[in-house]
Amino acid sequence: MKIRILAVGHKMPAWVEQGCAEYLKRMPREMTVELVEIKPDKRAAGKGGEQVREAEAQRLLEAAGRDYLIAMDEHGNEPTTLQLASRMEGWLADGRDVALVIGGADGLHDKVLQAAHWKWSLSRLTMPHGMVRVMLAEQL
């Protein structure tokens, strides 16, 4: 099974890359994890947050393809470690690749949230994108 973390954003600081690499190298061989950075949309004159989120949503959904889509969302489900492990076993048994989606500065567009098979929250708090990447890698 392949898990792809699709994250809207630019190259992260070294501590984020090191933290992610440290946790992801611990993954079992049957689960490979890849981080894919999706270019954020630029804010231009007259272009609001809704338009930015919609453009980013298009890129995220194209990148996710037919994968089992999980939206990282502060309003999503907050599973326990055991519940998450059970879900991951189910993903592995299904043999389907998984795309975990992290939105940009303006969050995820409704198109992504509606297309998601599951919405997962690491916390009810809004967190910096770098921290979300490291925490997500650790939880996997």
| pLDDT tens digit sequence for 71-130 | 999 999 999 999 999 999 998 898 889 999 999 888 899 999 999 999 999 998 888 889
Q: Is the confidence at residue 41, as pLDDT, over 90?
A: no
Question: Is 67 in contact with 39 (CB distance < 8 Å)?
Answer: no
| Whole-number Cα distances in Å, 126 to 1, 8, 16, 75, 121 | 29, 15, 17, 10, 10
Q: What's the pLDDT at 28?
A: 86
Question: Is 69 in contact with 120 (CB distance < 8 Å)?
Answer: no
- pLDDT category, 50, cuts 50, 70, 90? confident
> What is the separation of C-alpha 112 from the centre of its chain, rounded to a whole number of angstroms?
11
Domain 2-139: CATH superfamily is SPOUT methyltransferase, trefoil knot domain (3.40.1280.10)
- pLDDT category, 45, cuts 50, 70, 90? low
Report d(CA 67, CA 46) in Å as an integer: 34
Query: Around Cβ 132, how many Cβ atoms within 10 Å?
Result: 20
Query: Where in the chain are the domains?
Result: 2-139
Q: Is the confidence at residue 47, as pLDDT, over 80?
A: no
